Structure 1
Amino acid sequence: MARNLDLLTTAIAPAIWGSTYIVTTHLLPQGYPLHVALLRALPAGLLLLLIVRQLPHGAWWLKVLILGALNFSVFWWLLFVTAYRLPGGVAAPVTSIQTLMVIGLARLWLGSPIRPLAVAAAVAGIFGVALIVLTPKAALDPVGVVAGFAAALSMAAGTVLSRRWQPPVSPLTFSAWQLTAGGLLLLPAALAFEPALPPLTGANMAGFLYLGLIGSALTYILWFRGLARLAPSVVSTLGLLSPVMAVLLGWLVAGETLTPIQVFGIAVVLVSVWLSQRAQQAAPPAASAEAAGKAPALSGAPTR
């Protein structure tokens, strides 16, 4: 029962992230990926820091900077580059490859076994996402494709390391540290490589507030909480729910057409998420603990 609650709670994050593409393309100024990533991360991180009033110490300063870079600075920058240069139908399958990357990195860094059922679930999920969003007219931009794969790798590495490096603090505090670190790392890059943002409209402000408070602060608290309790491969597969929600929102809110192929793709994604959970539940007790990323007792210590 507790595990199911953890799964449902964690799944809220990618469900909300499904609205990121429509918010980015309809409410935010176009052509400013670094500034958009910066204004999504830093204000949310500072707000959470004011709430928790706790800073990292010792070795956690470096670990938080690495995690902030992987989960936010690099990932969001490349994600927005991908969103600007590729149609959503191409961007989603490219970035969903991170589900397979997580399985490989979890093997390297956590010693988690590679289970055929988990790999099959990840491949099925990517196929399902392609069915949902890929169209025959989708254009391939080389820079966008490379940025998408790099974004997926950054997210996969951040996901696995966030499970390996578990500080003795709450998910709220862990989120505050990473969001702030990611935003601070983006600040000099945005100032150096992009022109200043134009005057923000009311729609721009609404988009930034939504992505900062709901799409960042709330969702990453839930995401890091899930990573502390579930295997990285299980959590990463939940990320496939994001394009499902994106398509459903387009159908419900924007009046877009939902084709039979898309409905079939949604079903494939849902089955892949279920298979991922089955792969974890079918593991023997010793292997299950290993797959969950349970390192020795020192893994949560500040000196690790």
Structure 2
Amino acid sequence: MADFASEQAADIVGIPMLRIMGQRMPAGRDAWIAFLGMGLLNNALPFGLIVWGQQHVAGGLASILNATTPLFTVLVAHLLTPDEKLTPFKLAGVVVGFVGAVSMIGPDALLGPGVAITAQLACLAAALTYAFAAIFGRRFRRMGIAPMATATGQVCASTLLLLPLVLVVDRPWELAAPGAVTWGAAVGVGLLSTALAYVLYFRILAAAGATNLALVTFLIPVSAILLGWLVLGEMLWPRHFGGMALIGAGLACIDRRLPRLLLGSRRREGSTHATD
């Protein structure tokens, strides 16, 4: 219900913003079929799987399972795209980043309560669905649809897909009317975590590709832990710093910055020895 409310808030904001920016929603059948496909893969399916899975799996374990998204994306992109093939550096970087995410969240999460196999598989299926969504979303650039229109179309489509489920499962007419604080939270999540997030999502997808887009999953525990420290006064432990370092090393490995640095230092050492 909360995800559905945030999507409605994003709809309310997204459509007027398009008019302000002088853009229009595509009216063609192909565009709306693509929006429905993206809404299903990037919203309706993973949201449903994660919401159900987290009823039976601890939050830390669910976060670790969600961090497999880049692993799945690298493999799916290798199989389904001509220009995002798997390389040793990419695979090594994703694995190192995943280890960093696990170490930040804490390996104890793997042994915590709520380890139902079916629920774990649901969370993994959500991560796989996100991987397919990143590949599917590449088509909007080829179709000439701007990121703002793509984000709005996807959220509108996913709202239509989720509406029957919300009516059957939540029965909103039987719930107490939400107060101002609840509506304020829904609008805030809709504006920042949904509308703005999806505009950035499709901009990065168009500019950097599906594999690089999925790497943002590794930064979720980093931002959550840093915000907890800054806003909530939570403690930072050595494993948090170690995990951040591993995630940074993994990202640097994927964009070949770390391999270039290591190779450059080796060449400098070789030239120094040759001079001696």
Task: Output one character per residue of 1:224-267: Cα deviation in whole Å (capped at 9) or x when no partner.
Answer: 00100112111111221111111111222222221101210111
Give me the identity figure in percent.
26
- Contact residue 39 and residue 183 of structure 1 kept, 8 A: no
Q: What residue is the counterpart of 1:230 in the other structure?
A: 208
- Per the TM alignment, residue 152 of structure 1 is displaced from its structure 2 partner at its CA by 0.5
For 2:215 and 2:103, how far apart are their aligned partners in 1?
Answer: 17
1:1-304 pair list within 5 angstroms = 35-52=1-18, 53-111=24-82, 112-136=84-108, 138-142=112-116, 143-166=118-141, 167-196=143-172, 197-278=175-256
Give structure 1 stretches of 5+ with no counterpart: 1-34, 283-304
Cα gap change, 1:141/1:237 in structure 2, threshold over 3 Å: closer, same or farther?
A: same
Deviations 1:109-164 (A, max 9, x none): 21232111111111111111111112526323324322211210111111111114
Give 1:46 shift.
4.0
Which one is further off, 156-165 or 182-191?
156-165
Cα deviation 1:269-299 (Å, max 9, x = unaligned)? 12212222228x98xxxxxxxxxxxxxxxxx
Structure with higher Rg: it is: 2
| 1:151 alignment partner AA | A
Q: Deviations over 1:155-198 (max 9, x none)?
A: 11111111144231211111010011011111111111224243
Going from structure 1 to structure 2, the CA distance change for 1:160 and 1:47 (only over 3 Å counts) comes to same
Q: Which runs of 5+ in 2 are unaligned?
A: 19-23, 261-276
CA contact (8 A) 1:110 1:164 kept: no
- Offset at residue 212 of structure 1 (A): 0.4
Cα 1:56–1:42 change in 2 (3 A) is: farther
Tell me the SS of whatever aligns to 1:198: coil
How far apart are the structure 2 equivalents of 1:56 and 1:153? 30
Provide the TM-score with structure 2 as the length reference: 0.82
**Equivalent-residue separation in structure 2 for 1:84 and 1:200 (angstroms):** 23
Structure 1 residues 90 and 256, CA gap change in structure 2 (3 angstroms): same
Aligned-partner Cα distance in 2 for 1:89–1:257? 17
Q: 1:199 Cα deviation (Å)?
A: 2.9
Q: CA deviation at 1:207?
A: 2.2
Verify the 8 A CA contact 2:32 2:153 in the aligned structure 1. Answer: no
Letter matched to residue 85 of structure 2: P
Q: Distance in 2 between matches of 1:56 and 1:139?
A: 48
What letter corresponds to residue 95 of structure 2 in structure 1?
V
Q: Secondary structure at the match of 1:169?
A: coil
Q: Measured at CA, do residues 56 and 147 of structure 1 come closer, stay the same or move farther in structure 2, by a change above 3 Å?
A: farther
Cα distance in 2 for residues equivalent to 1:39 and 1:78:
17
Counterpart of 1:273 in 2: which secondary structure? helix
Cα distance 1:201–1:144, how it changes in 2: closer, same or farther (>3 A)?
farther
Letter of the 2:45 counterpart: V
Partner Cα distance (1:202, 1:138) in 2? 36
Aligned-residue RMSD, C-alpha: 2.2
Q: Does the aligned pair in 2 maintain the 1:46–1:180 contact within 8 Å? A: no
Partner amino acid, structure 2, of 1:170: A
